[in-house]
Amino acid sequence: MKPVPDAVEIAPNTHWIGALDPSLREFDIILKTANGTTYNAYCVRGTQGVAIIDTVKASHAEEFFRRLEQVARYDEISTIVLNHLEPDHTGALPELMRRAPQAKLYISAKAQLMLKALVKNTELDYAVVETGDSVDLGGRTLRFFSTPFLHWPDTQCTLVEELGVLFSGDVFGCHFCDTRLFNDKVGDFRFSFEYYYQHIMRPFREYVLDALALLEPLSLTVIAPAHGPILRDAPKSYMQRYRQLASPLLHNEIGSNHKSLLVFYISSYGNTAQMAHAVAEGAETVTGVRVSLYDLQAMGNLPFVDLIEEADGIAFGSPTINGDAVKPVWDLLSSLAVIKVSEKLGAAFGSYGWSGEAINMIEDRLRGLKLRVPLKGVRARLIPTEGELEKCRDLGKQLAEHLTGTVERRVISLSELLAQE
C-alpha cells in the first residue's frame, strides 16, 4: 500500500489533512483495532476564508501541519471548527491556535468547559453554535448541526452546504487505517464500522435516532468522519445502517403494550433456581408483563447484553460464596457499559449458607448503574421455605406492578425506614 504524503482532495477546494496511526492496536483501553486508525482533519477553502475542521492527536501534530501547509497558509485560516473535543481530535489545537491566532473557533455550547480545560487561555475567541447556525467562507457555507452525546455531550456535525460534504465527527467513523482513504478504495472495513458503533454509539441509541432525524434529510455527496474511511460511495447507506442498529430489536416479539422482565439466576444446589422460578411465577400473575428466565451458567454474556438492552426490568439471583456474588453475575453486570440501562427496574435475590452478602452487593451495583431498585431483595438460608418462596413470588409480582405502573405509591416515615433495617 503506498504512503499518503500529501493532503488529499475530497471535494473541490476541500482537503483531508489528517494523520495516520497504522500501528495502534488498542484505542482508549476499551477498543481494539486490527490495523490502526486515522485522525481525520479537513480544510475547506472559500473565497473569503479558510476553515480547518478538527485537528489530530498531539503525537501526530507534525503530520497534520505538514498536510495543512500544502493547502493553506496559517494567516488565511479564518475559522476552526471543533466537532468533538476529545484529545485525539484536539491534540494539535493549541499549536494551531498559536500559528493562526486570528482564527475564530466554532464549538457547541457543551464544548465550552472542555475547551477551557484543553486550552488554558481565558481570552479565547470562540462562538457557540447550534443547529441552524452557519459561517460564510465565501461561496462555501458551513452549516452546523447539534448532535449531542455522539458520543460526548459536546459532539456536533458540520455541513459544507454547496458541496453536500458532511463532517460528522466520530459519527459514522471507525478505527481503520488504510492509505487509500476512501470507502470505495480501502479494504473491507465493515466489521470496524459495526464494532465502532457497538462500542461507542450504542449506549446513546436515543441520541443516534435524534441525530439521524436531523441528518437524513440532507443531500450528501460525502460523509467525512473523524476516524476511518471517508464515505463518498453511497454515503446514505451508512446512515441507513445506523438507523437499523439504533432501532429496537425485540419490539415485535414483546409487543408495544407489554413490559419485559428478565430473571437471571445461577445456582449451586438448585435453591437460588427455585427462588428464580418463584420470582418469575409471581411476575407472571400481572397482566401486561412478559417474563423470561435464564440460567447464567449456560451461556456467555453477549446475548444477555442484547436482551437487557431491550428489557424494562432485570432481576438477578445469585448464591453467596465466600461473601460475594458469583463471577458469572459480575461478568454480566460489568458488561453493560455498551448499552443504556439507567431507568430500568432492578432487583436481586438468592440463597446462601452463612452470610448472604451477594444480594446487597448486586443491589448496590444496580443502583450504581442508575437502575431503580425500589424493592428489598429476598434472601433464603440454603433451601428456601414455602414462606420464603412466597416472598419471592411477591417480589416478582411487585416488580411487575412497578413495570406496569400499577404499584401503590408508598408513604413512610424516616423512623419506620430505619426500624426496617
Partner 1 sequence: MPKANVTFEKLGVTVTVPAGTRLIEISEKVGASITYGCREGECGTCMMKIVSGMENMSERSILEDQVLQENMAGRNHRLACQAQVLGGDITVKA
Positions that interact with partner 1 (CB under 8 A)? 110, 113, 153, 342-343, 363, 367-368, 370-376, 402, 407-414, 417-418, 421
Q: How many whole angstroms separate alpha carbon 212 and alpha carbon 56?
A: 26
Distance CA 64, CA 16 (A): 10
Q: Least distance from C-beta 87 to partner 1, angstroms?
A: 19
**Cα-based distances in Å from 86 to 46, 182, 267, 350:** 27, 24, 44, 43
> Which residue lies nearer to partner 1 by CB, 117 or 298?
117
For residue 58 the three cell numbers come to: 498531539
Residue with cell 423470561: 292
Q: How many CB atoms lie within 10 A of CB 416?
A: 9
Q: Which is nearer to partner 1, 137 or 150 (CB)?
A: 150
Q: What is the DSSP letter of 202?
A: G
Contact 259, 403 (CB under 8 A): yes
CB neighbourhood size of 122 (10 A): 6
CB of 147 to partner 1, least distance (A): 18
Residue 203 beta carbon to partner 1: minimum distance, rounded to whole angstroms: 17
Say if CB 368 and CB 396 are below 8 A apart: no
Element (DSSP H or E) covering residue 327: helix 327-333
User: Looking at beta carbons only, is 275 or 341 nearer to partner 1?
Assistant: 341
Reported as type and span, the H/E element at residue 228 is none
The CA-atom distances, in angstroms, between 274 and each of 22, 304, 325 are 53, 21, 17
In contact, 291 and 261? CB cutoff 8 Å: yes
Length of the chain: 421
Q: Which is nearer to partner 1, 376 or 381 (CB)?
A: 376
CB of 65 to partner 1, least distance (A): 32
CB of 286 to partner 1, least distance (A): 15
Answer whether 316's CB lies under 8 Å from 345's CB: no
Closer to partner 1 by CB, 302 or 414: give it: 414
| Closer CB to partner 1, 185 or 370, in the complex | 370
Give least dist CB 297 to partner 1, A.
28
* Smallest separation (angstroms) from partner 1 to the CB of 308: 16
Distance CA 165, CA 10 (A): 9
Strand 42-45 relative to strand 14-16, pairing: antiparallel
- Taking the complex as a whole, how short is the minimal distance between the CB of residue 155 and partner 1, in angstroms? 15
**CB nearer partner 1, residue 122 or residue 219:** 122
Q: Return the number of the residue (157 or 341) whose C-beta is nearest partner 1.
A: 341
